[in-house]
Amino acid sequence: MRISRLHILAIVCASLQVHLAPAQVFDPMNYNATGDGKTDDTNAIRAALAAARDNNGGRVLFDSQYIFLTGCFNVTSNIILDVRGTILASQNSSGYVRVQPLPWYGGGQDAQMTGELDRQSLVHSYYESNITITGGGTIDGQGEVWWNCSRYNFQGEPCNGASRPELIMFTHTTDVKIYDITLKNSPSWTLHLANCTDVHIYNTTVLAPSNSHNTDGFDIDCSVNVLLENSYYSGGDDAIAVKSGIDYLGRTFGRTTENVMVRNMSIGTSHGLSIGSEMSGGVRNITFKDIFVNGSAAGPRIKSQRGRGGTC
């Protein structure tokens, strides 16, 4: 089916309802965080998120006067990450647990079919629903220590045989809202929607140096009903990448990415607005509209290679 104006309006209205709804506040500072940008606050952040989960949701507040240094953490259903200050990703590889790669990628984004493990993203969800990230603050991946750790050199530090962590990865998740946030210096892909449904992203800025490796902005992967608008990207790889799995793994998983609208965007340095290269599950009904591109290596770009192609 074609994505309709009514469906887009429904996504927008849902995001407004979550934004306006009152929610109990869970502050990591109340769980022994320091917020000094130097002390590891992972346990405090996880404790605040666990309390919100046990409450069946709530607003986890990262106050504007603090910088929270952290390893990876999970976000569960009905939670608003209210990031008014800065979340600073740990550069210590031990801060990111090793996980099995997505079934439609097999060996992991870096390892690419070699059977190695991924590292969990800094911000992660798995089979959840109704999650919002907002607040006007920044999530900084401090990715510079990871960028040379590519699939050709992932056995050394800091990867030690596992893929680089992404900044945000939502997997098998529905009803996602991301707005009024800056995402910067991801170790790998910045925002990865993996088999997600009903997603609205707007007023989001993604930044990374132009020579940073694989710092995609918005990876829409095996996902359906996605509206991305009024946002900015400048970095070292694809501004937007529409994907659906690699080789026979993507074809076996069989999840087509479809009903995607990308509009009113501004793009700086990048590798363009890409469909592919991993698209073995197929793509359908993808619209790029009213997009300003300046300093990019490409504009709209359909790319694939032998074995990775699907159907459009």
Amino acid letter at 158? P
**Residue 124, φ and ψ in degrees, nearest 5:** -140, 140
Q: Where are the beta strands (DSSP E) in 102-253?
A: 118-119, 123-126, 129-134, 138-140, 168-171, 174-184, 191-194, 197-207, 218-221, 224-229, 232-234, 240-243
Distance between CA atoms of 268 and 297, rounded to whole angstroms? 10
Residue of 148, 151, 183 lying closest to 167 (CA atoms): 183
Residue of 237, 238, 247, 290 marked catalytic: 237
Q: Look-up: residue for tokens 């994907």?
A: 243
Which residue reads 């993203």 in tokens?
121
Q: Based on the number of CB atoms within 10 Å of its own CB, is 56 exposed (0-12), middle (13-18) or buried (19 or more)?
A: exposed
Contact assessment for residue 153 and residue 107, using Cβ atoms and an 8 Å cutoff: no
Dist. CA 243–CA 220, nearest whole Å: 6
Phi-psi region of 30 (alpha: psi -120 to 50; beta: other; left: phi over 0): alpha
Tokens of 154: 């992932």
Active site residue 180: no
User: Alpha-carbon distance 53 to 170, whole Å?
Assistant: 16
**71 neighbors 92 (Cβ within 8 angstroms):** yes
**Chain position carrying tokens 């849902």:** 14
C-alpha separations of 300 from 148, 231, 235 in Å: 27, 17, 16
Active site residues: 237
